[in-house]
Amino acid sequence: MGRAPCCDKANVKKGPWSPEEDAKLKAYIEQHGTGGNWIALPHKIGLKRCGKSCRLRWLNYLRPNIKHGGFSEEEDNIICSLYISIGSRWSIIAAQLPGRTDNDIKNYWNTRLKKKLLGKQRKEQQARRGNSCLKQEMIKREIDQTTSVVPAVAGIDIMMSNQTPYWPELPFVTPPLVSSQQDQSSLKDLLIKLGGRFCDGDHINNQSQPACPFDASLAQSQDDPVTL
DNA sequence: AAGGCTTCCAACCGCCAGACT
DNA sequence: GAGTCTGGCGGTTGGAAGCCT
């Protein structure tokens, strides 16, 4: 049967938003709200845009109190910790960072944080390959120094633990030889080092907690974003 | 100075779940 | 209960800007 498109793509403008379009959308929503129907909204205000596009533009850019760029060290740590706990649930992570959007965080992770962490990790791997105790000790110290600034995040106990790591988004696989996949698992290892609370199935059952303990703590911390 | 390369971010795409009819 | 519609989400892409050689 197929699904009806959300808008008539032939009559819909794509690409960057003009200041006029922004102004129209912003003015309308500030005055009337979204009306609970994003699809109808562009027609009401005479914009040749898809409703979804309007929604995205509002949420990611026009909404009041949006912060752009300039992620702090503290925010880095929060993102890393949450990524460890819940994976790429950007909307949930964004909820913990007032003024940040899921899109922003996703971009920031993909373009900078991931590389930053992988860079660190590669250094460590090289040191290991050299099989030098001295080298290892130096790297360890380096990592210790960097992780020492990683704070506990919003109810998430990120102390190193002896618990079996739980990686919700990725099934366990034997470490592959392909470098990109290796990166993925390497990244995981590094993130574990940086701290983060993990749980495995048994652990959950034993404690009768939600699939991820993070959920409950988050709900509690909504109004008190970060306690460091 | 200029051309190629890399980085970054805004925006789009497609899927899914829940609401509605 | 089945079909349809909409909102929401995560993944991906295109192009502008900055950097490098």
Q: How far apart are CA A25 and CA A46, in angstroms?
A: 10
Q: Which residues contact A116 (CB under 8 A, 6 or more apart)?
A: A76
Last residue of a domain, one of A62, A88, A103: A62
- Same-domain pairing of A116 and A51: no
User: A21-25, A97-101, A118-122, A178-182 — which is least confidently predicted?
Assistant: A178-182
pLDDT digit string, tens, across residues A19-68: 999 999 999 998 888 888 888 898 888 888 989 999 999 999 998 888 87
Q: How far apart are CA A38 and CA A54, in angstroms?
A: 7
> What's the total number of domains in chain A?
2
- Same-domain pairing of A84 and A58: no
Q: Which nucleotide is nearest to A15 (CA to C1')?
A: B11
Distance C5 C1' – A6 CA (angstroms): 8
A76 touches strand C (CB under 7 A): no
- What are the start-end ranges of the H helices in A71-209? 73-86, 90-95, 102-108, 114-129, 133-147, 179-194, 201-207
Q: How far apart are CA A143 and CA A193, in angstroms?
A: 8
User: A14-23, A46-55, A82-91, A189-198 — which is least confidently predicted?
Assistant: A189-198
Average pLDDT of chain A, as a whole number: 65
Section A181-207 average pLDDT: 49
What CATH number did the domain enclosing A37 receive? Answer: 1.10.10.60
- Same-domain pairing of A81 and A43: no
